[in-house]
Structure 1
Amino acid sequence: MDLAFVPPLYPPKGNRAIYEFKPFSSALHRNLYSQRTSPCLATAATQTSQASEFVVENKKHDLLRAIQETKRGLVATADQCSSIEDALVSVEGYNMGLPIDLVKLDGTWRLQYTSAPDVLILFEAAARLPFIQVGQIFQKFECRDQSNGGVIRNVVQWSIPTLLDVNMH
């Protein structure tokens, strides 16, 4: 099951990011590392019936449909942002406040949408400067078997075509 969630790097309301779990391929790229230690915190709803699981899955699909055509948030209109926020709140409404199994959270999640200005500025720069390309953006959660909550790494793939390919961690 894919989870949509808001990572703890952003405030609970306002700036949002939606990630989808995807395996991270290790291509040959130059890597730049920076690390921020953050607790791996998330919650998941306990599903008591197949009917409620079906409703949750429909809400997730509604959320994913709402973020389509926004170029990861870069071209989202005010109406789209409102619709996305409503869909996100609807998915979060099934969150019973129970801590999630960190084994499920552990892994690499690909950015699908964000309203966070510190990420949107990357997309805006790439749109204005044709020599910069922003590739995929991931968050890597390393929280399996961690007593301190774990580590979250932001990974940004970017390049200057024909000159430099870089992964920033």
Structure 2
Amino acid sequence: MSSISMTAARDSENELESQKYELLKIIQDTQRGLVTTADQRSIIEEAMVVVESFDAGKEIDLSKLDGTWRLQYTSASDVVILFESAARLPFFQVGQIFQKFECKSESRGGLVRNVIKWSVPRLLEENEGATLIVSARFSCVSARNIYLKFEEIGLQNINISEDLQAVIAPAILPRSFLSLQILQFIRSFKAQVPVTSPERRSVGGLYYLSYLDNNMLLGRAVGGGGVFVFTRAQALTF
């Protein structure tokens, strides 16, 4: 590669990183999409389009997609309503939200888990008292579109608050076998409910991955379902 080409490539990469930073700066005070005006949403849309232009037309790289992504912003009504509920209801908290893709060794699809950390104040640990997981199989239907086929909703990782632990097994008294068993049962509790059944068609939808690199993922739910901005996060284990 000539020095001119290398310089042009470096300039393009620097410009891309600048535009990604600008997008993250614009969304940082929106509380992940809860607090936005129409003008702000328009500015965010324009910033997303600029970033997307650097990756236009390229096929999805599943090895890059594989891993855990943290939600930074969305306009999807089914997610924003969670933030609205948490802001309005004193007994409900929404913590971090992730998408975890498992597709490293796949060529045309894989598994994705939508992970929501939530809590009930004073009963569960703050923001991460429990974990809701919505699992789906996905298949690549075009260079950028994936089709999601939802399979299961699960609840796990229940972490009760110290106040509730004290009620179940007071620290000042000898903890009985039964009280310890109750605590262990709560901590290890796990439930899964299938979304599909022989009598019911699977719920699914198209998801357009408009930008993807090693540390940022932009997506759009096809049909006006909203936009998503994710950044790479540490791996989640279940």
Choose the corresponding residue for 1:168, options 132, 141, 147. 132
Q: Which has the larger strand fraction?
A: 2
C-alpha distance in 1, partners of 2:105/2:28? 35
Specify the code of the residue in structure 2 equivalent to 1:112.
Answer: Q
C-alpha distance in 1, partners of 2:113/2:31? 22
The correspondence of residues 23-62 of structure 1 with structure 2, limited to 5 A, is 49-62=9-22
Choose the corresponding residue for 1:120, options 66, 80, 83. 80
The correspondence of residues 73-84 of structure 1 with structure 2, limited to 5 A, is 73-84=33-44
Secondary structure of the 2:71 match is strand
Give CA-to-partner distance per residue, 1:126-157, whole Å, 9 cap, x none.
01101100000000011111244011110000
C-alpha distance in 2, partners of 1:148/1:51? 33
- State, as a whole percentage, how many aligned pairs show the same letter: 61
Partner of 1:67: 27
Would you say the 8 A contact 2:97–2:114 is kept in 1?
yes
Q: Does 1:141 align with 2:101?
A: yes
Number of equivalences: 122
Partner of 2:56: 96
Structure 1 length-normalised TM:
0.69
Alpha-carbon distance, 1:100 to partner: 3.6
Specify the code of the residue in structure 1 equivalent to 2:83.
Answer: F
C-alpha distance in 2, partners of 1:152/1:86? 28
Give CA-to-partner distance per residue, 1:17-50, whole Å, 9 cap, x none.
xxxxxxxxxxxxxxxxxxxxxxxxxxxxxxx710
Choose the corresponding residue for 1:109, options 69, 89, 92. 69
Structure 2 length-normalised TM:
0.50
Secondary structure of the 1:137 match is strand
Would you say the 8 A contact 2:62–2:107 is kept in 1?
no
Task: Flag the structure with more relative contact order, 1 or 2, with Cα contacts below 8 A and sequence separation at least 6.
Answer: 1
Name the larger-Rg structure.
2
C-alpha distance in 1, partners of 2:84/2:73? 14
Over 6 Å off, 4+ runs: none
Partner of 1:7: none
